Structure 1
Amino acid sequence: MTMISAPVLKPPFASENSLIFPASGTTHNDTVPNDIRASSTATINARLPPTFHSHVPSSNDVHLKRIDPSVAGSVYGYLQETLDVSRLNRIESWLWTAGLPRIARPLHEQLNKGRTIIVTEQADCHLIWQDDKILIKPLPEILLDYKAWELYLSEPSETRAAACGFILSYLWLICHESDFAIAKDHHLLPSFVEWNAWANFTASAFDHLHDRDSGTLKVTVSQRYQYGELRLSRLNKIYRFLYALPRGDIKTLIFGYSYTYTTYQSFFERNTGWLVSLAVYIGVVLTAMQVGLATNELGSNSSFSLACYNFTVFAILSPLILLGGGVLTLLVLFMFHARYAIWKHKQHAMESRRLRKEP
């Protein structure tokens, strides 16, 4: 039986536009001779962080892992983790409710909208916004290296699709020199990258990612990168009610997509602000009803009197119901967090005992 190997895919930019060159660590500049413009494994390894956080989906736990540059699987594992957008891909059919299928705004427009740029190292939080903040993941140096793409990202995979999509997102974010300056100020790009080199890199990447005639994408990118900016509040609702609830996933139902509350006070402050508007509205309606009952036309109208009676009962009971719901929510959250903390403590104790028994 003949084995069909996966096609070898080229990097999404030309080798001469790679921003990282020889093993000596030289970066892109006009003084680099053409005969040494070739990255080596040693150069790639020098661009890797020593450790990274590895998420365990089954337990929602996080482990610290060291990158072993001598093991290709270790480097690829880092790329899988740092570029992972599977949480967004699995709700791709609902992403249109959290954002429009259009490119993200460049960095200068983000600031013009009054947004603060917050650095994140999670790719699945990249270009997610809430209130006046937007999360942006810095561009990993390894993705600027042509040789790294040849070694680790040359075969069709979710990781390669995520990497191409991530490069695409930076074409959206940095279009002008002003965007480039903002990116450097927020440490979104490596310090050695200069504007002229970046302009050449993005021009090459655009040509490799897009069809020259139609302007549409000609490479596979993760479904997440069919959309630009995504709203966190809507992602939380999608994860809680459309993903977790049908599956009976209590943990995701509580935490949603990203749990941003650090205290119970912040949770209630964010989720009970609408009660003030409701109280004001009820007060206005009750005052209007009192005025209406004082008139001859409405005071003698039995239907209006019944409506006033029902609304008055509602105004009395609704605060009590809402207060009870708030207390119940607080108790559920407290019990969940307490139970989770106890479970983690027991797990840690069991692991410690196991390690002590090992010779």
Structure 2
Amino acid sequence: MGGHRIRDQASRKLSPPISNTSLLKDSSSTAHKPESLHPAITFEGDKFVRPNRDTFTYLALDLKTPRLNDIHQHLWLAGLPNAARPLHRQKLLGRNILVTEDPDEHLVWFEAQIFVKPLPDFLLDYNYWNDYLCSDEELHKSACGLLLSYAWLVRHKSDLNIAQETGLLSNNIGWPNWVEFLETFLDNINLDTLSDVNKRYKYGELRLSRLNAIYRLIPPTYSFHNFIRGYRSGSTWYNAFFERHFKWMLAVFAAFSVFLSALQVGLATPMLQENGPFKRASYGFALASLIAVVASVALVIFVWTGLFWYHLLSTWWNDRVVDRRRRNGVLSL
């Protein structure tokens, strides 16, 4: 079978957790044709990956969650060890369902957005499980975890309708077939210990702002690169960055302004004009406010300058690295 890597023959053969019947109404186009289930090309960083030529590399990219597994001991800060809410509840919460193909972003939410990875059709194919996923325990667990997440998300017929409308599930899946499919799958995994799924799926929805904080501040993922970008970088516009990280300054300056106005009014009253402690406190607070404003402006300029040079130098360095790799012909897999 094209794309197979040499594997230890002593490794135990796992079993598909699904039944040997097609979930799709029209399965003729997928049976025994894995190339019809893969994209033509994808990327691992700046390297090209041809899924039909290196299937296991592609499956690792499409199913495994290494970034979340690296911080698994800290995921309690970002989410609860509960099932994710179904799609209709996500809509009721006012969340926009955004499609992502990165498994590390699956069920990660930010404000009124939640990222959801579409369920690949090959996870509905019994023969595909046998040929590719059952020979690798980590791939098997990751695939089972992704399927389990869809048992959370698509619990009702209304959820199935939402999933198909947003492109998360194939339109060929009927509701009775989906229920039967999940019944078989759930019978083949341990729902009490979740030992059959990747440990990432012991948690449901994860909050992006908390993941960013973990990646920026907590070992073993702490680095200057992660401190700048966090778990998932948002907009690269500077105005968006400063709005996101320095908007608290407006609230602080507003409080200073009100307090200074109150001190000014107090100094204008005869009762407080001769009050020494009050005048000294007013003088100290006014001086501290001026210092705070100057320090804040200096901080913003310092951060902007640092970010400008970081992005400039990292872009320059990345351009050189990619160019060197292309000259050596090592970008494609």
Range class of TM-score, shorter chain = 0.7 to 0.9
Mark the runs of 5 or more structure 2 residues left unpaired by the alignment. 1-7
Alignment partner of 2:60: what SS?
A: helix
With structure 2 as the length reference, what TM-score do the two structures score? Answer: 0.88
Q: Give, as a single letter, the amino acid of the residue that structure 2 aligns with 1:15.
A: N
Hey, what does 1:29 align to over in structure 2? none
- Kindly state the Cα deviation for residue 235 of structure 1 after the two structures are TM-superposed: 0.7
Change (3 A) 1:22 1:274: closer
Report the RMSD for the aligned CA atoms in angstroms.
2.5
- Kindly state the Cα deviation for residue 302 of structure 1 after the two structures are TM-superposed: 4.7
1:230-269 equivalence runs, <5 A: 230-243=206-219, 249-269=223-243
Q: Give, as a single letter, the amino acid of the residue that structure 2 aligns with 1:236.
A: N
CA contact (8 A) 2:25 2:174 kept: no
CA contact (8 A) 1:244 1:253 kept: no
- Kindly state the Cα deviation for residue 343 of structure 1 after the two structures are TM-superposed: 1.3
> Which one has more relative contact order, counting CA pairs under 8 Å at least 6 apart?
2
Match of 2:246 among 272, 277, 292: 272
Mark the runs of 5 or more structure 1 residues left unpaired by the alignment. 27-38, 56-61
Match of 2:104 among 124, 130, 134: 124
Q: How many Å separate the matches in 2 of 1:348 and 1:49? A: 23
- Kindly state the Cα deviation for residue 218 of structure 1 after the two structures are TM-superposed: 4.8
Q: Give, as a single letter, the amino acid of the residue that structure 1 aligns with 2:49.
A: K
Q: Give, as a single letter, the amino acid of the residue that structure 2 aligns with 1:169.
A: S
Hey, what does 1:34 align to over in structure 2? none
- Kindly state the Cα deviation for residue 292 of structure 1 after the two structures are TM-superposed: 4.3
CA contact (8 A) 1:161 1:221 kept: yes
Q: Give, as a single letter, the amino acid of the residue that structure 1 aligns with 2:88.
A: H
Deviates more, 1:235-244 or 1:133-142: 235-244
Q: Give, as a single letter, the amino acid of the residue that structure 2 aligns with 1:150.
A: N
Hey, what does 2:175 align to over in structure 1? 195
What does the per-residue CA deviation read over 1:240-280, in whole Å, with 9 as the maximum and x for residues that have no partner? Answer: 111378x5x22121111111122112111222221221121
Hey, what does 2:148 align to over in structure 1? 168
With structure 1 as the length reference, what TM-score do the two structures score? Answer: 0.82
Hey, what does 1:66 align to over in structure 2? 50
1:45 aligns with 2:35: yes
Match of 2:188 among 181, 190, 208: 208
Q: Give, as a single letter, the amino acid of the residue that structure 2 aligns with 1:87.
A: R
Q: How many Å separate the matches in 2 of 1:293 and 1:136? A: 59
Q: How many Å separate the matches in 2 of 1:99 and 1:23? A: 37
- Kindly state the Cα deviation for residue 225 of structure 1 after the two structures are TM-superposed: 0.9
Hey, what does 2:76 align to over in structure 1? 96
CA contact (8 A) 1:11 1:149 kept: yes
Change (3 A) 1:307 1:192: same
Q: Give, as a single letter, the amino acid of the residue that structure 1 aligns with 2:201.
A: Y
Hey, what does 2:201 align to over in structure 1? 225
Deviates more, 1:158-167 or 1:86-95: 158-167
Change (3 A) 1:188 1:337: same
- Kindly state the Cα deviation for residue 346 of structure 1 after the two structures are TM-superposed: 2.1
Q: How many Å separate the matches in 1 of 2:48 and 2:137? A: 24
CA contact (8 A) 2:14 2:137 kept: no
Hey, what does 2:287 align to over in structure 1? 313
